[in-house]
Amino acid sequence: MLTAEKVAHELDGELLGDSSHIISTVCKIDAGSADAISFLANPKYESFLETTEAGVVLVKPDQALPSRNNITFIKVKDPYTAFCIILGKYFNPVTHPKGISEKCHVGGKIDIIEGLYIGEFAVIGKNVTLAKNVKVYPQVYIGDNCTIGENTVIYAGAKIYNDIKIGANCIIHSGTVIGSDGFGFALQKDGSYIKIPQIGNVIVEDDVEIGANCTIDRATMGSTIIRQGVKLDNLIQVAHNVEIGKNTVIAAHTGISGSVKLGENCVIGGQVGFVGHITVANGTQIGAQSGITKTITEENRQWIGSPILPLKDAFKAIAVYRNLPELDLRVSKLEKTK
Is position 123 within any domain? Answer: yes
- Specify the pLDDT at position 116: 95
| pTM summary value | 0.90
Q: Do residues 122 and 256 both lie within one domain?
A: yes
Domain finish residue from 90, 109, 128: 90
- Specify the pLDDT at position 109: 76
- Specify the pLDDT at position 322: 87
Q: Do residues 78 and 188 both lie within one domain?
A: no
d(CA 198, CA 133): 32
Is position 325 within any domain? Answer: no
Is position 334 within any domain? Answer: no
CATH number of the CATH domain containing 135: 2.160.10.10
CATH number of the CATH domain containing 30: 3.40.1390.10
- Specify the pLDDT at position 94: 81
Cβ atoms < 10 Å from Cβ of 193: 10
Domain count, the chain: 2
- Residues of the chain predicted below pLDDT 50: none
Q: Do residues 58 and 136 both lie within one domain?
A: no
Is position 297 within any domain? Answer: yes
Q: Do residues 124 and 248 both lie within one domain?
A: yes
Is position 34 within any domain? Answer: yes
Q: Do residues 121 and 183 both lie within one domain?
A: yes
Is position 24 within any domain? Answer: yes
Sign of CA dihedral 152, 231, 246, 275: positive
Residues pairing with 72 in the sheet: 56
Domain finish residue from 34, 60, 90: 90
**Residue pair 112/94 in contact by the 8 Å Cβ criterion:** no
- Specify the pLDDT at position 319: 85
Q: Residue 137 is part of which domain span?
A: 99-314
d(CA 309, CA 148): 40
The catalytically annotated residue of 96, 105, 173, 240 is 240
Is position 329 within any domain? Answer: no
Domain finish residue from 90, 107, 140: 90
Q: Do residues 159 and 20 both lie within one domain?
A: no
Compute the half-sphere exposure of residue 87: CA atoms within 13 Å on the CB side of its CA.
13
**Residue pair 118/103 in contact by the 8 Å Cβ criterion:** no
- Specify the pLDDT at position 83: 97
E strands, 143-266, in order: 147-148, 153-154, 159-160, 165-166, 171-172, 177-180, 185-187, 193-195, 201-204, 209-210, 215-217, 223-226, 231-232, 237-238, 243-244, 249-250, 255-256, 261-262
Q: Do residues 171 and 262 both lie within one domain?
A: yes
DSSP letter at 296?
A: B
Is position 322 within any domain? Answer: no
- Specify the pLDDT at position 338: 66
d(CA 102, CA 108): 15
- Specify the pLDDT at position 329: 87
Decide if 240 is catalytic.
Answer: yes
